[in-house]
Amino acid sequence: MSSAACIFCKIVKGDIPSLKLFESDKVLAFLDINPLSRGHALVIPKHHGEKLTDIPDDALTEILPVVKKLVKASGAENYNVLQNNGRIAHQEVDHVHFHMIPKPNAEEGMS
């Protein structure tokens, strides 16, 4: 299921370009266009759903292993995994997504 107006559904279809990091039948991971740190990635179910509670369990169970792969690939020892639901909770894109935000060590910057 996809939503015609949804940016992330357009990314899934390839109608909007993205820097893909991982893809399977149910999951896509790509770099955030406005990263909070180097390697800031988004992991989404391909199934369109606005909030966590809208996504079928079988699509959700594949997400965290992908987040884990991205953490390992980034080499980060410190990182945040975030998932926002609803405007008041800072959700801007209404397609479920998990942020993986590596936290650089103090001596490292964005580059």
Output the smallest distance, CB 107 to ligand 5GP, in A: 25
CA dist., res. 73 & res. 21, Å (int): 10
Per-residue binding letters, 13-32, with ligand 5GP (x by CB under 6 A): ---x-x-----------xxx
Conformational region of residue 70, where left means phi above 0, alpha means psi within -120 to 50, and beta covers everything else:
alpha
Q: From Zn ion, ligand 5GP, none, which one binds at residue 3 (CB under 5 to 8 Å depending on kind)?
A: Zn ion
Inter-residue contact 55 to 45 (CB < 8 Å): yes
Q: Would you say 12 or 66 has its CB closer to Zn ion?
A: 12
Residues 66-105 that bind ligand 5GP (CB under 6 A): 84, 90-93
Residues in binding contact with ligand 5GP, number by CB under 6 A? 14
Residues 40-59 that bind ligand 5GP (CB under 6 A): 42
Q: Is 99 in the site for Zn ion (CB under 5 A)?
A: no
How far from the centroid of its chain's Cα atoms is residue 15's Cα?
17
Burial label, 38 (beta-carbon count in 10 A; 0-12, 13-18, 19+) = middle
Burial label, 39 (beta-carbon count in 10 A; 0-12, 13-18, 19+) = buried
Which residues are known to be catalytic? 97
Residues that bind Zn ion (CB under 5 A): 3, 6, 8-9, 48, 95
